[in-house]
Amino acid sequence: MKETLTYSGTSVRGLTKEIEILVPWGIIAGKVLGDSTNPPVLCIHGWLDNCNTFDNLIPLLPADKYYVFIDLPGHGLSSDFPPGMFYTTFDYAALVYRLANYFEWKVFSFIGHSLGAVIGAMFAGSFPEKVDKLILLDEVGFFPINAGNEVKQFRSTVVNYYKHESYDKPSKTYSYQDAKKRLLKANPSLTGETVDVLLERGARRLENGMYEYRRDRRHIYQELYAVYAGNVLDFLTRIAAETIHIIADNGVLKNQEPNLTELFNSYFRDGFNNCEYYGYIEVKGKHHVHLCHPERVIHPMTSLLERPLRPGLRSESSASKL
């Protein structure tokens, strides 16, 4: 099936265009910002969020880039993976490769929040020649599985996915205010206003006036998003992109068990030694600081994005075919 892209309106106060990219299992939905002949930047959101997570950053981003914001499969307005399939970090990294091929990007930059940062780090470590700049928001770059837990987690995931296939109850529905309260309770790093931003793509209004969440229920089984801890450095040490971590001082990495904190510290210390430029910045805020307080993260993001193409990369056209 040939992949095609269509435009369907505008959003974010007219700054962005909505897009749909046809893929073998349905569509990848998202939006784009800027001139497609400018250097491209792919932006991917976190687990159970959607591409609106970047909405408050959009007016502040450097204007001389071409930004593509996508909803991951099973999130927002994008199609779910087919029944019987799993969601894994490997599949998501493969999607990045598919998108780069679609847009005919020789080289591009990447902004990822949480799960999106994991996807970005995996892709940048696997294809170091393709990623120029890498911005990782409140995530070291991987969710590690501690030694000895791989078999247990894989078994649990397989069992739960098969249980899900026999789950025939309809999705729960809520009033808008109840849907908002529920999402806010599950994500204390959000605010009432920013929950509204995510629900624009993350909830669907039904004919009876009630709402249901737009996300594949298979996502509640997260185990296959993780990578065995012993393999994480194999990916991180191969990243050549100019990289910055922007870490919230009250985010997910600062609220881990002590053993995980030490493991993450080892990744920061040992995992990015091959980057041609590297920065680590802590900002005041919680896990969604980029959405709730974009002014706190935009300066280091802009400083990196405005650096010239890193040495060693081909400077031939990396522009989109659009």
DSSP E strands in the chain: the ranges are 5-11, 16-23, 26-33, 40-44, 66-70, 108-113, 131-137, 144-145, 203-205, 211-213, 227-228, 242-248, 278-283
Q: Which residues are catalytic?
A: 114
- The predicted model scores a pTM of 0.92
CA angle 87, 89, 95 (to 5 degrees): 85
Whether 174 is in a domain gets the answer no
Q: Is the pLDDT of residue 13 over 70?
A: no
Higher pLDDT, 12 or 305: 305
Q: Which two tokens mark 207?
A: 């004919």
* Domain tally, the chain: 1
Please tell me the predicted confidence (pLDDT) of residue 318.
44
User: Rounded to an integer, what distance in angstroms lies between the CA atom of residue 57 and that of residue 46?
Assistant: 15
Whether 259 is in a domain gets the answer yes
Q: pLDDT, tens digit, for every residue of 126-154?
A: 999 999 999 999 999 988 877 677 788 88
Judge whether 294 and 300 are in contact, CB under 8 Å.
Answer: no
Please tell me the predicted confidence (pLDDT) of residue 259.
77
User: Rounded to an integer, what distance in angstroms lies between the CA atom of residue 279 and that of residue 37?
Assistant: 28
Q: Is the pLDDT of residue 317 over 50?
A: no
Q: Is the pLDDT of residue 286 over 60?
A: yes
Predicted confidence band of residue 313 (pLDDT cuts 50, 70, 90): confident
- Determine the length of the chain: 322
Q: pLDDT, tens digit, for every residue of 202-255?
A: 999 999 999 999 998 888 776 677 787 888 999 999 999 999 999 999 999 888
Helix (H) or strand (E) holding 195: helix 192-202
| Segments forming the whole domain that contains residue 257 | 5-146+221-305
User: Rounded to an integer, what distance in angstroms lies between the CA atom of residue 80 and that of residue 74?
Assistant: 4
Phi and psi torsions of 86, nearest 5°: -105, 160
Tokens 């880039």 sit on residue: 65
Q: pLDDT, tens digit, for every residue of 163-197?
A: 877 777 778 999 999 999 999 999 999 999 999 99
Beta bridge partners of 26: 23
Whether 120 is in a domain gets the answer yes
Whether 279 is in a domain gets the answer yes
Average pLDDT in the 85-103 region?
Answer: 95
Whether 273 is in a domain gets the answer yes
Whether 158 is in a domain gets the answer no
Whether 313 is in a domain gets the answer no
**CATH (domain of 254):** 3.40.50.1820
Q: pLDDT, tens digit, for every residue of 14-42?
A: 789 999 999 999 999 999 999 999 999 99
Q: Is the pLDDT of residue 97 over 70?
A: yes
Predicted confidence band of residue 308 (pLDDT cuts 50, 70, 90): very high
Helix boundaries (H) for 255-316 = 258-270, 289-292, 298-305
Whether 213 is in a domain gets the answer no
